[in-house]
Structure 1
Amino acid sequence: MMNQVNDRKVNRLTDVLNVLADPVRVRIVLCLVRPTSISSLQNHLKIGQNTLLHHLTRMQDNGLLVAEHSDGKVYYSLPDRALERAVRLLAA
């Protein structure tokens, strides 16, 4: 049983680190000090919308990003303690 728990933690940590290992995704994290729209991210990062959406989806699927709809736009932000959770996984 203990190996299964450790395997799950290792797999989860590997997933999070793989997501954060991409330079574009690190730049996205640094841009999200407050909720930010796709168009603002796209303008700041100078990448195409499809590429940006791919990265945002990967991050959201791994719990490192949340999307909120407001005024007809989608705003992305980091969930509370998302990066802290990644650090806790490393320390566990």
Structure 2
Amino acid sequence: MHGYHETHTEDFKKAKDSNQVWKLLGVVENDGGVVTARVEPKLLTADDPLAQINGPMNAVTYQCDLSGNVTLIGAGAGITETGFAVLIDILSIR
């Protein structure tokens, strides 16, 4: 997992000047049956559907052989729902 700590302020400024956006993405790849997953900052063009995601919204992009990229966008759980889910998890541990 890589975060923004390796990305500097000037990187964000250059991206904005170039009509690009940094986003922290989860990436899952299947290479011949070997599945890898990682989280890392990615530089996206401003018109990329994932670049438009902010606040409580979630999105996933599938790369499909026949249809190309397919992006699904929807509301995330939100702070209350996430907090409640964490509380339930904690209570189930004890």
TM (norm. structure 2) is 0.26
Provide TM-score, normalisation by structure 1: 0.27
Higher strand share: 2
* Greater RCO, CA 8 A, separation 6+: 1
More helix by proportion, 1 or 2? 1
